[in-house]
Amino acid sequence: MLAVSYLAGRANASKEQASSAVRAYGPHLPVAGEAPLDSPIRGRLDGRAWLEHITFHEAPQLMHRLSTACLIVILYLTGMRPGEALELRVGCCPEPGPDDPRPHGYQIHGNYFKGARDGDGKHVVGGLPRDTPWTAIAPVVRAVRVLERMADGPLLFPVKTAWASTTSGSRKRRGEALTCQGANARISAFTTWLNDYTARTRPDERIPDDPVHVNRFRRTLAWHIARLPGGRVALAVQYGHLRASTVTDGYAGRARDGLRRILDIETARAMADYLDTVADRLHRGEHVSGPAARRLISAATGARNRFEGMFLTPKQARALLAVPQFHVYDNPEAFLACNYDPAKALCHPDRTHPAGRSKSPAIDRCDPACANIARTDTHIAALRSEIARLREEIVEPATPMPLRERLGQRAAQPGQALEQHERTRITNREETDVDR
């Protein structure tokens, strides 16, 4: 079938004129296999255009994919609930004014739906305006601006548009927002399309066969912050924040139900998982050393007795966080576990002042002299492997002399920790005998 609309656009003619010309002259003209648009390809991958050209029939599909990509960016980097993101409107992210105290800071304004009730206690279907807007970082602002250019109505994610067909599972009336079911269908189609593209161009970057639903993005963000050593710092650097606190304090919704609540739950589950793992190792005879060795053994056995085999509910997570004994943070990068006591934490210089005592350690500033440190045989084994790797790099002929000296200093530093572990390590059984 000939692309009459495309031919009419290229010739600056009406569709009727193009159809008439095709009937009159078509049999004598060559036919191309594609209908490329004149739009330049500006996107680059490894310095090359990601696509030779966009065809007339591909454009609506790629608009779908672009809208879905913007949705993923907004959901993942703001911590919004899916329903809140899908109801965003054009103008939700205004440019900061000249008198704004944060001239380079952006905020997204919208409605909340969970717990939205009027003065009579009835649920408000359209939601209520949020008292606190979401903090928006550069990638999110760019996604909103792209969606605003694509919009032909007030909504950023309408169910029907002039450039795309209705998504399966969506509401059918024009002027309504996309549903979560419709958004999931778009993400599934986006994943399939992207995997097809990477199979031809970048086979190592395929998205795994694990269904991605809109409800998973907040949990994924919380997992990266709460479970990875230095997660808050890494997230702040990666996403362009000036302060790591912006991630947790500015992203959250309402204090009771926002992202901070999910972070607390994820932090508690990370602690419970680690303590359960330590309890298993102790049961098999693993040793522990360090100033906080007995505290780590007590925390691991206590947590196992209380939470063994459980997937923590929000209530149980709050109960675990309420017990200072269980505040144990594994730091594999420093080859130790932090049994956090704010009054003893050398990572916080202002610990002597009660008002300055942080509720969590600064994992990126672990001090070997801190009284909160404990090391297990697993930490020591990883430390020995790191020393062996450094020594192999030192004797490598290609390693320059200044770097060899620096690597030699790094390899010599952990010697005291290894010696202390061998000299002072204890087991769970020894700790039990002491308690008796």
pLDDT in tens, 221-257: 777 666 666 565 555 554 444 334 444 444 444 434 4
Report residue 17 as tokens. 């004129």
pLDDT of residue 196: 94
pLDDT interval class at 192 (50, 70, 90):
very high
254 domain-assigned:
no
DSSP state string for 401-418: HHHHHHHHHHHHTTHHHH
Is the same domain home to 133 and 275?
A: no
The whole domain housing 156 covers 59-214
13 & 146 share domain: no
Q: Is 30 in the same domain as 83?
A: no
Angstrom CA distances, 150 to 163, 212, 272, 293, 425, stand at: 9, 24, 46, 59, 64
Same-domain status, 194 and 274: no
Asked if residue 317 belongs to a domain, the reply is yes
pLDDT, tens digit (0-9, with 9 covering 90-100), for 266-286: 788 888 888 888 999 998 999
Establish if 303 belongs to a structural domain.
Answer: yes
pLDDT of amino acid 382:
92
pLDDT of 356 reads: 54
Model confidence band, residue 14 (pLDDT cutoffs 50, 70, 90): very high
Same domain, 101 and 22: no
Distance CA 289, CA 373 (A): 9
Shared domain for 24 and 66, answered yes or no, is no
| 283 and 184 share one domain | no
Could you give the number of structural domains in the chain? Answer: 3
Indicate if the pLDDT at residue 263 is higher than 90. Answer: no
Domain closes at, from 172, 187, 214: 214
Same domain, residue pair 274 and 409: yes
Average pLDDT of the residues in 307-328: 80
pLDDT at 91: 93
Same domain, 141 and 208: yes
Residue 226 lies in a domain: no
Examine the domain organization and report whether 286 and 421 are in the same domain: yes
Do 67 and 27 fall into the same domain? no
Residues 133-144: pLDDT tens digits? Answer: 887 888 889 999
The kind and range of the H/E element at 44 are: strand 44-45
**Quick check: 311 pLDDT over 60?**
yes
Is residue 42 domain-resident?
A: no
Mean pLDDT of 407-430: 84
290 and 434 fall within a common domain? yes
Asked if residues 270 and 155 have their Cβ atoms less than 8 Å apart, the reply is no
In 58-202, which residue ranges form alpha helices assigned H by DSSP?
59-78, 82-86, 138-150, 180-201
Does the pLDDT value for residue 375 go beyond 90? yes
